[in-house]
Amino acid sequence: MSESETNSTGAGRDRDPDGRARSARPRDGLGRPLPHGAEGVARQPEGVLRTPGETLAEAQQLLDDGMPFHAHEVFEDAWKSAAEPGERALWKGLAQLAVGVTHAARGNARGAESLLRRAADAIAPYSRERPYGIDAGGLAGWARQAAEEIASGASAGAATLSPPRLRGTRD
């Protein structure tokens, strides 16, 4: 399949070498598409294999920099490349946490609340073992508290959310 296909209207469609749709539109720092030709923020490369430590360090930096959508992409790489179901569930929960923060930053209170609660439920089972030094109990508590603040209207979104600490302290 070619990298650019023609759809039924005759317009070119952006495809990767395997034929999967991709968007060539530039994106803002929260992953929202911008008009063609606009200057956007560089996207995280997909399919990068990182060690768990590298994943956590890169994602924490992106969260600290106000780029939770990009942190989600880093966690998604770990999730998709994990060999064990338990490992995949952990990384998926962390990706959901980052997406919840993304929704909050975009002003989508309902989506933020839902994803943060889902992330808390997914991460909490890892509280005792602290895989890779992840403060799963602290993160689950942070996500639940953030969801409560958003639901009650006490938080205006990401502007009032401090970035979650993946390992509980400054890395």
pLDDT band per the 50, 70, 90 thresholds, residue 2: very low
Phi-psi region of 7 (alpha: psi -120 to 50; beta: other; left: phi over 0): beta
Go through the chain and tell me how many residues it has: 171
Dump pLDDT digits (tens) for 59-102. 999 999 999 999 999 999 999 999 999 899 999 999 999 999 99
In the DSSP assignment, the letter for residue 67 is -
- Calpha distance 85→135 (Å, rounded): 20
Q: In the chain, which segments carry CATH 1.10.3450.10? A: 52-160
Q: What is the pTM of this model?
A: 0.81
In CATH terms, the superfamily for domain 52-160 is TTHA0068-like (1.10.3450.10)
Mean pLDDT score, 107-115: 94
